[in-house]
Amino acid sequence: MASAKEIQDRMRSIKDTLKITNAMYMISSSKLKKSKKMLADTEPYFYTLQSEMSRILRHLPDMNSIYFKTNAEIPERKRKAGYIVITADKGLAGSYNHNILKLAEEELEKRDDYKLFVLGELGRHYFEQKGINIDKQFHFVVQDPSLSRARRIAEDLLKLYHENQLDELYIIYTTMVNAMQEEAQVAQLLPLKKTDFKIPVPIDIPLERLALKPSAEEVMDHIVPNYVVGFVYGALVEAFSCEQNARMMAMEGATNSAKQMLKELDIEYNRARQAAITQEITEVIAGAKSQKKKKK
């Protein structure tokens, strides 16, 4: 059995750790509230763009656009695919990073020709250790998502798409199913699918009249890049929310474990003290008996 002093030292160390996990929980809680507000603020913009694209496609379902090509003539494995992978800059967030990186590897294995774009230091370290080539890293983004940073990312990748260096573009990030559950997912950014923008209209309601100048194609070519920017920004903010939520749950689990260890150590400490007191009493009695025998 450990001595009372050793147990006290362990308890002191756990209490110090407990302060850290509590502080990290509070920090992540504050960041989560901020990111949820940011996410709510993006939704009207995102859905307005979707609505406008749906209106155009409702009137011109057969319109030609580079953003709606099918790539049907190219086998899926041979298509030049780009993957944006959003991870965290640091750990202590449960399985948040593991799930994203595992999904990303599974997607890369399906392709013969791909480009990898990584956001987050943990993702960068992981792929470098695996010897997987990273085509571009975007620094200082995941901990401070902003519309301007999302626009810079989208513009760089749209340029590659227009230059035919990419046939398809995907984004791999984490979405929040509910307060207790998160899910890593792959979303196709480009090309877009017309079926995703079909909003059913009742038969008895006539179509509104649209005047698209200079042309429907040019209007769509202006809207889609903004839609991509909005999607990237929304993914960054949602991933940031999920990271903070995962870190909160991890810190809560660590805090609860530390409290349980303190309870167990407190019991062990009391037993050690009782054993030490009993030992001291035994030694005093033995000494007293020894003194009595000497006097006789």
Taking only the tens place, the pLDDT of each residue in 206-247 is 555 555 566 667 777 888 888 899 889 989 998 998 888 888
Counting as low any pLDDT under 70, the low residues of the chain are: 1, 59, 198-216, 293-296
User: What pLDDT shows up at residue 116?
Assistant: 96
User: What pLDDT shows up at residue 165?
Assistant: 94
- H/E element, 274: helix 216-295
pTM for the model? 0.80
User: What pLDDT shows up at residue 188?
Assistant: 92
User: What pLDDT shows up at residue 286?
Assistant: 75
* Beta carbons within 10 angstroms of residue 226's beta carbon: 15
- E strands present in the chain: 81-86, 114-119, 136-138, 168-178, 181-190
In sequence order, what are the residues at sequence separation of 6 or more whose Cβ sits closer than 8 angstroms to the Cβ of residue 144? none
Specify the DSSP class assigned to residue 78: G
> Class for domain 21-248, per CATH?
alpha beta
